[in-house]
Amino acid sequence: MASNAPLATLDQARIAILGLGYVGLPLAAAFGKRFPTVGFDIDAARVSELKSHHDHTREVTADNLREAKLLEFSSDPAALAGCNVFIVTVPTPIDEYKRPDLHPLESASRTVGRAIGRGGIVVYESTVYPGATEEICVPIVERESGLVFNRDFYAGYSPERINPGDPKHRLETIMKVTSGSTPEAAEFVDGLYGSIITAGTHKASSIRVAEAAKVIENIQRDVNIALINELALIFHRLGIDTHEVLEAAGTKWNFLPFRPGLVGGHCIGVDPYYLTHKAQQIGYHPDMILAGRRINDGMGSHVARRVVKLMRQRNQDMTRARILILGLAFKENCPDLRNTKVVDIIRELHCYNAKVDVHDPWVNVEHARAEYGVDLIAEPATGQYDAVVLAVAHGEFVAMGADRIRSLGTPGAVLFDVKRALPRASVDGCL
């Protein structure tokens, strides 16, 4: 029987990062300052822009990329030859039926399997349900490589905690959860991340524990926001200002400061479906998690109906109405369009035959068209709209103030503030 292949030491590590999006690129830049690192992505255009030190996500600056002297980029799988540490940071989306879509993860695992050698280790960062790494990914690597798991190669899981558009909480300043398939692998993974994470690491007892920890981080936020959104629905019917209620309740020391709003993005609106999928596989129906998802998924339509009601109260003809949406990204001061719920507002307004213009200075025009079929306008004209919806609190919009935003509308136009970014007295409606 063959003996177990030894892992490389940290000073022997040659790292490959598979997936150069919001998660993978900051990781590649950080590792590329200390270790020989290959940033790999199947999108050749993405690789080309990074080679010229440009990142359209705005998460990594040109200077950061230049400082990563040991980092190279490639879309050619041959560039992975010789790497002994493979870190997978590809997306884990859901399909149209809200089921986990593991195709990117499976494809990346095949790529790793064709490149990994004896003593290699593959570490997954993508959000999954407990068990996915060892039940789905590892068998693919075994099959493609012809190697035996935990004898010839090893695995780890260290969930991403990237917060797009957040200048304060960066990769290095967020504590990292780590894990490995053997005690030696766990120690290696922990040491590897510990070399770049100044906030420290937390070594979980198993890969499954680390997977579960990641997925519930976002479920907790989703459920809490759903509670506040439901309260907002109730208080609106009671004629009470939700934010005044939250401000009053917030004077108690242990009241949690959640606010109502649209819940989109790559994590909070998606990750819960990974755990609910696994729960239902084992015969448990997760009532609270799914109820939270149902409430949060309905908030875009709720906003649109509120806007339409305000317009009808002013006797505006919806078949002739022009409505401006300010913001398309899923959050403020960020170009990220993944799972944005602003599109739900747009689609619901279209059901009333309104003409809807969308303006977002942060979002790439081609990306908006390709992803959602939305044609962004470059600059909204003054005095043209029967309603204006401030959907995303980009700094540019907040700086305009209520009067400037109102000037985009016709006399008596409705101004609805989804994010409560403007003074309450200056708008006609908000969550």
**Which CATH number does the domain 216-295 belong to among 3.90.420.10, 3.30.420.40, 3.30.1220.10, 1.10.1040.10?**
1.10.1040.10
Q: Which CATH superfamily is domain 11-214 in?
A: NAD(P)-binding Rossmann-like Domain (3.40.50.720)
Per-residue pLDDT of the chain (431 residues; tens, 9 = 90+): 568 999 999 999 999 999 999 999 999 999 999 999 999 999 999 999 999 999 999 999 999 999 999 999 999 999 999 999 999 999 999 999 999 999 999 999 999 999 999 999 999 999 999 999 999 999 999 999 999 999 999 999 999 998 888 888 899 999 999 999 999 999 999 999 999 999 999 999 999 999 999 999 999 999 999 999 999 999 999 999 999 999 999 999 999 999 999 999 888 999 999 999 999 999 999 999 999 999 999 999 999 999 999 999 999 999 899 999 999 999 999 999 999 999 999 999 999 999 999 999 999 999 999 999 999 999 999 999 999 999 999 999 999 999 999 999 999 999 999 999 999 999 999 99
Q: 95 CB contacts (<8 Å, ≥6 apart)?
A: 101
H or E element: which one contains 412?
A: strand 409-417
How do 322-326 and 355-359 pair as beta strands?
A: parallel
Q: According to the model, what pLDDT value does residue 165 have?
A: 82
CA distance 125 to 119: 20
Common-topology check for domains 11-214 and 298-430: yes
Q: Is 295 exposed, middle or buried (0-12, 13-18, 19+ CB in 10 A)?
A: buried
**Which CATH number does the domain 298-430 belong to among 3.40.50.720, 3.40.140.10, 3.60.15.10, 3.40.50.300?**
3.40.50.720
Domain map of the chain by residue range? 11-214, 216-295, 298-430
Structure tokens at 162: 């990237």
pTM attached to this predicted model = 0.93
CA distance 201 to 190: 7
Positions marked catalytic: 267
Tokens 């907790």 appear where?
A: 220
Looking at the DSSP assignment, which residues form a beta bridge with residue 324? 357, 388
Q: What CA–CA distances, in Å, run from 23 to 171, 232, 266, 291?
A: 9, 33, 11, 29
Q: According to the model, what pLDDT value does residue 1 have?
A: 55
CA distance 264 to 261: 10
CA distance 24 to 17: 6
CA distance 122 to 109: 9
Cβ distance 355 to 321 under 8 Å?
Answer: yes
Q: 239 CB contacts (<8 Å, ≥6 apart)?
A: none
Q: 240 CB contacts (<8 Å, ≥6 apart)?
A: none
How do 201-203 and 322-326 pair as beta strands?
A: unpaired
